[in-house]
Amino acid sequence: MGKTLFDKIWENHLVKHIPDGPDVLYIDRHLVHEVTSPQAFSALKKRGLKVFRPEKTFATCDHNVPTENQDKPISDPSSRNAVEQLAANTAENGITYFPLGDPGNGIVHVIGPQQGIVLCGQTVVCGDSHTATHGAFGNIAFGIGTSEVEMVMATQCLLQSKPEQARITVDGRLAENVTPKDVILYIISRLGTGGCTGCFVEYAGEVFRNMSMEGRMTVCNMSIEMGAKGGMIAPDSTTFEYISGRRFAPSGRQLEECKAFWQTLRTDDDAVFDREYRFNAADIRPMVTYGTNPGMGIPADGVIPDEAAGCDSATFDKALAYMGFRKGERMSGKKIDYVFVGSCTNGRIEDFRAFAKAVGGRKKADGVTVWLVPGSREVASMIESEGIGDALRSAGFQIRQPGCSACLAMNADKIPEGKYAVSTSNRNFEGRQGYGARTILAGPLVAAEAAVTGRIGVPSGL
């Protein structure tokens, strides 16, 4: 029997197999931010230890940071303390850190690939569930808890039981106004939030082969939202071109040697997966969510159904009540109050290019608040150098400074109670964007349509 891509990377990193127990895996890259690392650093210090291999760990501040006035001291005491602690802990342990204002600063899952820190065929972990993003490069990448963060810091290894594997194949060609975000929202709507529980998912087929790296990262990012431990896509020429020339990436002869190895990282033809799913690209349309989990999704011009995959009737009814929606209602035409473009899901330059193109010279709708938040300082610089910033500001939009922002209610960017927000982030749970906030997940094109019309609708500015 052949081996999957996941099998090959797992075996390459296997330090020890414990009979009737977990495996000991070597970890290539450990990404750190200000929220989940303080306890781990404190625990190491109490034991008289320092980070074992600091050159394998990279840190940034992103969750707690404000997206305005980043040149000034952080006003919120708890946020300021978290960021100051990260600066002190990384300095004490010799860890590369990208502080606020640094050209390399940004959301951890945006800057890892952008800086060439994350390559191919690696094991990548971070104290954040959306570490799955980095599987887009053909990696085993997953989120870990605080005690596991400490374990990696102390040993550069991690105890893990090998999970089941699933393959999701999407063939055909996507319609022009269908984005990678629509692809993953469609898949989750079909499989439900528990459709791949505990699995590592490999995405295969024509649709993913034709995607940019930014698009592949969007898809892998949301693997966790259908219960998966992570998602991955086999590396190819698109991957290698993205990596080449980045700050921490190999270059010259070393890069060529790496590429020769990376080209071997693919699933064998006779490999067998625990689960197989197939979808047709022609069936995928611009998507929105209507409930309080990412599996409650339909086309932007669709009708709210009577049930959702993997969702019991009581949960379904409760979700609709929270959102103020009813079965049989159309999503198109529904009024919205906020639009958020950003996050580790859709905060890359490709997302802002798509948003600006969809706006197409139109103006922001009256009464709608729009937050455009780049995922990194580098993305922010590209927005300005490409003229996107001037075009969007002239349309009435505000471009803020990098950070996790309104993805989660952990900073000042919160959606008020009862208000509707079209969000390009990854979760629409109750209170995710603020107490009582009502989140409608979508891609950057649907977000652009909402921003200029004030209502849900199919993208028309293309």
Q: What is the pLDDT of residues 190-244, one digit of tens each?
A: 999 999 999 999 999 999 999 999 999 999 999 999 999 999 999 999 999 999 9
Q: What single letter denotes the amino acid at residue 47?
A: R
3 state SS of 106: strand
Q: What is the mean pLDDT of residues 373-396?
A: 97
Whether the per-residue pLDDT at 450 is higher than 80: the answer is: yes
The confidence score (pLDDT) of residue 191 equals: 98
Share of the chain above pLDDT 90, in %: 98
Q: What is the pLDDT of residues 24-57, one digit of tens each?
A: 999 999 999 999 899 999 999 999 999 999 999 9
Residues in Cβ contact with 412 at an 8 Å cutoff, skipping those fewer than 6 apart: 66, 67, 68, 76
Whether the per-residue pLDDT at 462 is higher than 60: the answer is: no
The confidence score (pLDDT) of residue 439 equals: 98
Q: What is the mean pLDDT of residues 94-112?
A: 97
Whether the per-residue pLDDT at 71 is higher than 70: the answer is: yes
Read off the pLDDT band of 460 (50, 70, 90).
confident
Whether the per-residue pLDDT at 326 is higher than 80: the answer is: yes
The confidence score (pLDDT) of residue 143 equals: 98
Residues written for the chain: 462
Cα distance between residue 62 and residue 456, in whole Å: 29
Torsion of CA 26, 32, 35, 37, to 10 degrees: 60
The confidence score (pLDDT) of residue 69 equals: 96
Q: What is the mean pLDDT of residues 416-427?
A: 98
Q: What is the reported pTM?
A: 0.97
**Alpha helices for 156-222 (secondary structure H):** 180-191, 206-209, 213-221
The confidence score (pLDDT) of residue 1 equals: 86
Token digits for 183? 């692809």
**What residue has token string 């010799």?**
94
Q: What is the pLDDT of residues 293-305, one digit of tens each?
A: 999 999 999 999 9
Question: Residue 366 phi/psi, 5° resolution?
Answer: -60, 140
Cα distance between residue 280 and residue 228, in whole Å: 21
30 pairs with which residues across the strands? 57, 125
Cα distance between residue 181 and residue 354, in whole Å: 12
Whether the per-residue pLDDT at 423 is higher than 60: the answer is: yes
Q: What single letter denotes the amino acid at residue 174?
A: L
Q: What is the mean pLDDT of residues 435-458?
A: 98
Nearest to 262 by CA among 290, 243, 289: 243
Cα distance between residue 460 and residue 462, in whole Å: 6
In this structure, the number of other CB atoms found within 10 A of the CB of residue 39 comes to 14
Whether the per-residue pLDDT at 8 is higher than 80: the answer is: yes
Cβ(416)–Cβ(437) below 8 Å: yes
The confidence score (pLDDT) of residue 461 equals: 54
> Sign of dihedral through CA atoms 82, 86, 87, 92?
positive
Cβ(423)–Cβ(405) below 8 Å: no
Cα distance between residue 77 and residue 58, in whole Å: 24
Cα distance between residue 416 and residue 337, in whole Å: 10
Cα distance between residue 51 and residue 53, in whole Å: 6
Q: What is the mean pLDDT of residues 60-77?
A: 95
Q: What is the pLDDT of residues 227-241, one digit of tens each?
A: 999 999 999 999 999
What phi-psi label fits residue 405: left (phi over 0), alpha (psi between -120 and 50 degrees) or beta?
A: left
